[in-house]
Amino acid sequence: MTGRSTVVRRVMVRPEAGAILGALLLWTIFAYLGGGNGFLTVAGTAGILEVAAQIGIVGTTVALLMIAGQYDLSVGSTVGATGMVLALGLSEFHLQVWAAVMLALTLGLGVGLVNGLLVIKTGLPSFIVTLASFYVLRGGTIAVTRAMTGLTVVGGLDEYTKNDPFAMLFMARFGDFRVAIVWWLLLAAASAYVLHRTRMGNWIFATGGNASAARMVGVPTNRVLVVLFMLTAFSAALLAVLQVLAFNGADALRGQQKEFEAITAAVIGGTLLTGGYGTAIGPIFGALTLAIVQLGIFFAGIDTDWYKVMVGSLLLLAVGFNESIRRLAMRVRR
Amino acid sequence: MTAGTPVIELREASKFFGHVVALERVSMSVRPGEVVCLLGDNGAGKSTLIKLLSGVFHPDEGSLWVDGSLARFGSPRDAVAAGIATVYQDLALFPLMTISRNFIVGTEPARGRGMLAAIRFREADTLVRQNLLEIGIEVRDTSDLVGTLSGGERQTLAIARAEHIGARLLILDEPTSALGVKEAAIVLRNVLRARAKGLAIVFITHNVHHAYAVGDRFLFLSRGRVLGVYDRDALTVDEMTRLMGGGAELEDLTNELEQLRRQGESDGRGAAGNGGGGTDVAGGGGAVRGAMGTDAGGSAARAQE
């Protein structure tokens, strides 16, 4: 093998290689198709990053959990539930903004704790456990909100959040760019650090790669999983806080399909569905890919009904591509 | 060679799963610089015994001793902390992780303690290279995935890792069973090398030749019980093969079958009017023979009673 092809191979077998290439390629295509309509403007770029942040905040942590071999289908419902707790805390209980935000984030951690404990105590697949919480949280949020307010939507929160310095942490804008983008990149950077630099990261890979072997060599796999479930739910709560404060209201139905978008971003980003393989950088580009397609279609003048068709096709392509890359990485070298 | 306090010792240990007796009053010990081979057929209780030693299970009865004092492992992590490292057959590695990361799982060299401590990768790489060199594997790059290594290389890496983690007691579960002759030889050589370094080793195998090549003592298990513990000079490979097959039980079965065969022959003669042998055979022995013979003979024996 020549030096050059080794370098190329080394880059190509990175799990996130496909997502980076894909995002670049799609961006180029839509820049060509929709460049004249504003895709390339600052506002267009801010829009892409905003959508990517909405997907990526949850996608980043869901990817970590998937690398550890588990799923969280309840993140979308958690967005709805924690957002509503924040909104009701402000409008019904007149809490301080910081107190209401802390309440929402704590509830998020609690949801994750329950999910995690249920998974490790019952030994049931997390797919089923979190599917159950997906229903329970969504139904509960709608029922409680309607019982308290008669509606499933709470609005007009700006009277509580206006000029609140704590609220600005989640509401600030820099020109066209919302602060959610910063939160996303911070969370992704923290995830990357944890996954690739720390002991916890090694344990995440080991837990997803071979849980029984990991236990045998002393990895506290249960603790790893509970922490990760708390992290996914916490990121959902963070997204909810950002949405509620930015849009001045909460909707009990908020966050629907977030669970699938997060998994899609993770998979396009090179996360292996069966665990044990992936990166924290990949899901950033997975989220960007979805955002580029979503806004690209709009700017290119294509009927946005086709968005999901494209996402589905992309997902299939990405899985196929990542699988072949993984096989290349696994090939015995002599 | 076998002087000193055992690194690990089981005394009269039993393990039950519901009504199933997986291990019954098993005692064993391993001293530094000693290779104890654990032999037995499938289902003899070898895996259960390993799991008692490595902290996966607790003995339901009896006790576990580490360095001469009573121990109770809450988890495999406790066993690892006590210096007990286990290489499980086919289970030991993470094919999709790099060689470096595989090597340090569970014992990551890190700045500080706790989950979020940063791994010292440079130290890990040096460590891995040194260990692999010592054990005779040459890798281009410690950031290659373990999935790219051959079977023998993987097993040897797993042993090197366990050695690195434990460094006092190595438990090797069938380390040679999936390997060719050449690769098995590499593994066996490494077992002896570890022994020379003063490690205590529990070596589990089906293969008596592999066991005889490295073992100081041999413990034979059958149906959850110890058939016997033998020193190396008290055994030959033939005797080991016999013991492997279940030892005394197998002997009983062979004798019984032999008796049945002869019985069939003499019964044939008996029907022809031959009176048989001495009086004592015609007594109790006759009833037993009848019960073990044909249906007619069986009912005849019952009728006599």
Average pLDDT over residues A263-271: 94
- Residues 62-81 (B) with a CB less than 8 A from some CB of A: 75-77, 80-81
A329 and B76: CB-CB below 8 Å? no
- Proportion of chain B above pLDDT 70, given as a percent: 82
Residue B115 sits at the chain A interface (C-beta within 8 Å): yes
Task: Compute the distance between CA of residue B232 and CA of residue B219 in angstroms, rounded to an integer.
Answer: 11
Give pLDDT, residue A1.
41
Chain B, nearest residue to A206 by Cα: B94
Q: Tell me the ipTM for this assembly.
A: 0.84
Nearest chain B Cα distance for residue A238, angstroms: 21
Residue A214 sits at the chain B interface (C-beta within 8 Å): yes
In what helix (H) or strand (E) does residue B200 lie, and over which residues does it extend? strand B200-205
Name which of A10-19, A121-130, B233-242 the model is least confident about. Answer: A10-19
Among residues A51, A81, A72, which one has the least CA distance to residue A237? A81
Give pLDDT, residue B283.
37
- Looking at the partner chain, which of B76, B95, B148 has a beta carbon nearest the beta carbon of A216? B76
- Residues 201-230 (B) with a CB less than 8 A from some CB of A: none
On chain A, the residues whose CB falls within 8 A of the CB of B75 are 215, 218
Task: Compute the distance between CA of residue B200 and CA of residue B189 in angstroms, rounded to an integer.
Answer: 15
Chain A, nearest residue to B108 by Cα: A199
User: DSSP character for B45?
Assistant: S
Residue A194 sits at the chain B interface (C-beta within 8 Å): yes
Structure tokens at B140: 């281009």
Average pLDDT over residues A199-207: 97
Domains and CATH numbers, chain A: 17-329 (1.10.3470)
Q: Is the pLDDT of residue A8 over 80?
A: no
Chain B, nearest residue to A215 by Cα: B76
- CA angle at B85 for the pair B82 and B89, rounded to the nearest 5°: 155
Residue B32, phi then psi, degrees to nearest 5: -60, 140
B272: confidence class by pLDDT, cuts 50, 70, 90: very low
Give pLDDT, residue A333.
52
Name which of A114-123, A225-234, B223-232 the model is least confident about. Answer: B223-232
A212 and B91: CB-CB below 8 Å? yes
B180: confidence class by pLDDT, cuts 50, 70, 90: confident
Residue B119 sits at the chain A interface (C-beta within 8 Å): yes
pLDDT tens track for B285-305: 333 333 333 333 333 333 343
A216 and B92: CB-CB below 8 Å? yes
Q: Is the pLDDT of residue B182 over 50?
A: yes
Structure tokens at B117: 């401590």
- Residues 257-276 (A) with a CB less than 8 A from some CB of B: 272, 276
User: Which of the pair, B175 or A64, is modelled with greater confidence?
Assistant: A64
- Among B90, B103, B105, B145, the residue to mutate for chain A (most A Cβ within 10 A): B105
Task: Compute the distance between CA of residue A100 and CA of residue A293 in angstroms, rounded to an integer.
Answer: 35
Amino acid at B81: A
Residue A1 sits at the chain B interface (C-beta within 8 Å): no
Give pLDDT, residue B69.
92
Can you give the pTM of this predicted structure? 0.79
Q: What integer best gives the mean pLDDT of chain B?
A: 79
Task: Compute the distance between CA of residue B119 and CA of residue B131 in angstroms, rounded to an integer.
Answer: 18
A332 and B94: CB-CB below 8 Å? no
In what helix (H) or strand (E) does residue B153 lie, and over which residues does it extend? helix B151-165
- Looking at the partner chain, which of A197, A212, A330 has a beta carbon nearest the beta carbon of B95? A330
B118 and A198: CB-CB below 8 Å? yes
A243: confidence class by pLDDT, cuts 50, 70, 90: very high
Average pLDDT over residues A160-169: 91
User: Which of the pair, A36 or A333, is modelled with greater confidence?
Assistant: A36
pLDDT tens track for A107-163: 999 999 999 999 999 999 999 999 999 999 999 999 999 999 999 999 989 899 988
Q: Is the pLDDT of residue B2 over 70?
A: no
Residue B190 sits at the chain A interface (C-beta within 8 Å): no
Residue A331 sits at the chain B interface (C-beta within 8 Å): yes
